[in-house]
Amino acid sequence: MVTLLPDLVTAASSVPDSAKRARALATVSRARIANTWLRLGACGIVAAVATSIVGSAAPIFWWAGLVPVLLFDRWMFQRLLKLCLAGDPPRSMPRFIAWTTSQSVYGNLVAVMLWFSPYVPGETLAIVYIFGGLANAAATLRSSVPLSIAGAGSTIGFLLGLPLAEYLVNGASNPLDLMPLMGGLLLLAFGVNLWKSLLASDVAQLDAEAAVLRERQTAAAAAAAKSSMIQRMNDELRTPMTALAGAAEHLRRVAQSPGARAHIATLVQASEVLRLVLNDLSDLDQLENGQVRIVAKPADPREVLRGVVSAFRAAAQDKSIELFVDLDPATPALLEMDAARVRQVLFNLLANAIRYTTHGGVRVRLSAQPSDAASVRLTFAVADTGAGMSRSQLALVFGRERLCAEGEGPGLGLAISMRLIRLMGGKLSAKSELGEGSVFSFTLDTPIAAARASSAA
């Protein structure tokens, strides 16, 4: 036991002494408070059995006196727990040590009654009761060495003193009277091994908690460094990118020849893609930190879709692919939705579809189905005639939502889209076959704005 105490100190060496003391005493306090009623019940059973062995009501009176003792013990450790939780543990505890010793002595008085009863089973029950007290001390007081000594020391004194007292009372003439003493020493040796095992488990728990704390601190530092880097990169790149986009737009307005306007339109589109990448990086950081909030406002989903598609008309023409739009006429004109986030998801899906399509075309569909009287289930689908994906590639896309530095998992825009759709309460799905293209779709349950307004009125 003594050899393991330095290990306990070493395992928590990174914690200030006051914090370590507060933690140890709080552990003791919680254990003592939790087992108050168990101790009362167990001692009540012992008192009832001891009454028949002793032949008097003395054990019952002992238990009646034990009730206020244990309740006062509970109250004292409740006060100690409050001090520890407030970060102000007592530096020295002479009163707690004295109290723990005295209540342990009082609790073991029933063992004296049983030991000197006229029946032989009294000694056996006394030994069992004493070892129960030692087990209780090992379970509740081991986190504090002074309190462990105060609680277990007196109990060990009864364990060794009762056989010796009986030997002396009988005139010190019968060595067999010391046999319980030998048995007590043997059992005590096993108890010390148990105590060491409990201390070793405490050391392991401290090591594990310290390792978890270090991992959390490392992860927090890495997240903070990543967020800072992303923020600095956004700040550094946005200014020249804005200037580039503005200059390109000005050139497009003043260009004379169709060829020049086409090249400048490509430059404008490239600046828009760069802006989207920067927004995606910022959104990914906010999504991982839980800072993105969905703000639903009245919006026309058809206008949202038309605006996204029009932004890709030039890109589709440059690749000589068709771009189709199918709008469900049953789609309500005004729904409660976060139009900016829906637009962002559609932008990412459509950008991927055009990027990986070399022939054929891309078709964007919007359909609506009533989910109840006040809401509609919208389904957005982006289908392309590109190279497609195998089942293993699809499993990789949806099985690894986090972006990997080595390029594994979905792209940045798709990873963000999956998280945004989940935040909006929807679901992203995909169907694809090699050589036959892919279909990415997502559904959203959106309240009808007019229905909400009428219900509020």
List beta partners, residue 384: 362
Predicted pLDDT at 320:
86
Predicted pLDDT at 122:
81
Predicted pLDDT at 454:
42
Predicted pLDDT at 78:
92
Predicted pLDDT at 146:
85
Chain-centroid distance, C-alpha 212:
12
Return the ∠ at Cα 34 (arms to 207 and 206), rounded to 5°.
5
Non-local (6+) Cβ contacts of 25 within 8 A are 80, 81, 83, 84, 89, 90, 143, 144
Predicted pLDDT at 6:
44
Token couple for 36 = 């108050």
List beta partners, residue 439: 383, 431
Predicted pLDDT at 86:
85
Non-local (6+) Cβ contacts of 23 within 8 A are 12, 15, 84
Predicted pLDDT at 204:
73
Measured between alpha carbons, how far is 152 from 156 in angstroms, rounded to an integer?
Answer: 6
Measured between alpha carbons, how far is 38 from 77 in angstroms, rounded to an integer?
Answer: 16
Measured between alpha carbons, how far is 350 from 58 in angstroms, rounded to an integer?
Answer: 88
The structure's pTM equals 0.47
The helix or strand, by DSSP H or E, that contains position 447, with its residue range, turns out to be: strand 437-447
46 secondary structure, DSSP code: H
Measured between alpha carbons, how far is 151 from 11 in angstroms, rounded to an integer?
Answer: 25
- Count of CB atoms within 10 A of residue 154's CB? 22
User: Out of 3.60.15.10, 3.30.565.10, 3.10.20.30, 2.130.10.10, which CATH number does the structure's domain 297-456 have?
Assistant: 3.30.565.10
Q: At what angle do helices 145-169 and 179-254 cross, to 10 degrees?
A: 170
List beta partners, residue 298: 336
Predicted pLDDT at 132:
84
Token couple for 196 = 């060491």
User: Average pLDDT by consecutive 10-residue portion of the chain (457 residues)?
Assistant: 42 56 85 89 90 88 93 91 86 86 90 83 82 81 82 82 78 68 67 68 71 79 69 69 73 72 65 64 64 81 86 83 89 86 87 86 91 86 87 71 40 77 87 86 86 44
Predicted pLDDT at 273:
58
Q: Which residues of 191-224 are buried (b: 16+ CB within 10 A; e: fewer)?
A: beeebeebbeebbeebeeeeeeeeeeeeeeeeee
Q: Please report, for residues 36, 68, 226, 294, 373, the alpha-carbon distance to residue 229 in angstroms, rounded to integers and kept in the order given.
A: 54, 62, 5, 25, 47
Sequence ranges of the domains in the chain: 2-173, 297-456
Predicted pLDDT at 64:
93
**Could you give the 3-state DSSP secondary structure of residue 360?**
coil
